[in-house]
Structure 1
Amino acid sequence: MDRISSENPAVETLRARVARHGARRKRIDLPEDSLPDGEVVRLVIDGTTYHARIEGGFADGPHVSGAYETPEMAREGSGPNRLQTWLEEVERPVGGSVLLDVIEPDFAYGLREPGEEAVYEAVEKPNESLAEIARNLEDS
């Protein structure tokens, strides 16, 4: 399988911020118009691929508040939240930066600490008709 480094010029890196999400949780605030609102995308954290739903609203800009094992868990916000675990482990404070690498636009992203390098598996966004079939199977 092909691999690509976060330092590769083909990988766009966006700066995102850690923000408060409720009383005790944190989230990642994303740059405006950087990710597809409401979509579930792949999110690689420390070499493991999770699934995250891009959230947002009138008062909030785009953000991610969780990373989960499956797309269905990401849509429901159920199961262990690996994003919260990672933010605790790396001790990123509210207001601190994290880096979001665009592995495949609108499909796969990587999250890392500033100054750290990551290597990702090169992935391609599936054919739209195949993605629709997969979504229909998940919903049934």
Structure 2
Amino acid sequence: MTERVPSDHATVDSHRVHLETVGRTGRPRVPLPDALDHDPEELLRLSLEGDEAHAQVTADLRGEPGVEGAYPDAQLARAGEGENRLAAWLDRHGLGEGDPLLFDVVTAGYQYGLRRPGERVVYDAVEAPDDGLADIAEKFG
């Protein structure tokens, strides 16, 4: 079941993070808030101010989790192929290293949102799939 939830709703937990870059490549990287527990290789649903995408959690050289890209579907996110919607979104808004972002927890462990401070977004909150179904989908996806 899908429910529409605004970013300022009491059920949405917002965390302030600052945009980073990856080494000399200059690729953007969004660190995950310390309060969240995510493992590298984990897939997340990530809304970029309403633009739905999928992202794979990666670890930096310190082992800290973050997201370096957001893609149209889970398979492309795993492969890091196709249009990187995160990079496009950051470019569209002129965001760069050190800029603040808000990382919203829409559905803990499954769905998150990224937005600029001061922006209000309405998310289509989706329940996390059953673990058994997710495992089956992972094998075929």
Q: TM exceeds 0.5? A: yes
- Which letter does structure 2 place at the counterpart of 1:18? L
Q: Is structure 2 residue 75 aligned with structure 1 residue 75?
A: no
CA distance in 1, matches of 2:100, 2:138: 33
Equivalent residues, number: 138
Amino acid in structure 2 at the alignment position of 1:34: L
Query: Does the aligned pair in 2 maintain the 1:17–1:30 contact within 8 Å?
Result: no
Measured in 2, the distance between the counterparts of 1:93 and 1:122 equals 28
Name 1:16's counterpart in structure 2.
Answer: 17
State the distance in 2 between where 1:47 and 1:123 align: 13
1:133: which partner in 2?
A: 136
Select the residue among 26, 29, 36 that pairs with 2:28.
26
Confirm or deny: 8 A CA contact 2:111 2:125 kept in the other structure. no
Paired residues of 2:50 and 2:123 also in contact (CA < 8 A): yes
Moved more, 121-130 or 51-60: 51-60
Contact 1:103 1:122 in 2 (8 A): yes
CA distance in 2 between partners of 1:7 and 1:15 (Å): 14
Q: What amino acid is aligned across from residue 118 of structure 1 in structure 2?
A: V
Q: TM-score under structure 1 normalisation?
A: 0.91
Q: 1:4 maps to which residue?
A: 5
- TM-score for both structures, normalised by structure 2: 0.91
Pairing partner for 2:113 from 93, 99, 110: 110
Aligned partner of 1:134: which letter?
A: A
Q: Residue 54 of structure 1 contacts residue 63 of structure 1 at CA under 8 Å; is this kept in 2?
A: yes
More strand by percentage: 2
AA aligned to 1:7 is D
1:14, 1:100 within 8 Å by CA — same for their partners in 2? yes
Three-state SS of the structure 1 residue aligned to 2:34 is coil
1:47-95: CA deviation from partner (whole Å, max 9, x where unpaired): 1210000111552411100000111111111111000001111112211
2 CA distance for matches of 1:101 and 1:31?
10
Identity of aligned residues (%): 37
8 Å contact from structure 1 (residues 29, 64) kept in 2: yes
Q: Aligned Cα RMSD in Å?
A: 1.4
In the alignment, which residue of structure 1 is the partner of 2:38? 36
Unaligned runs of 5+ in 1: none
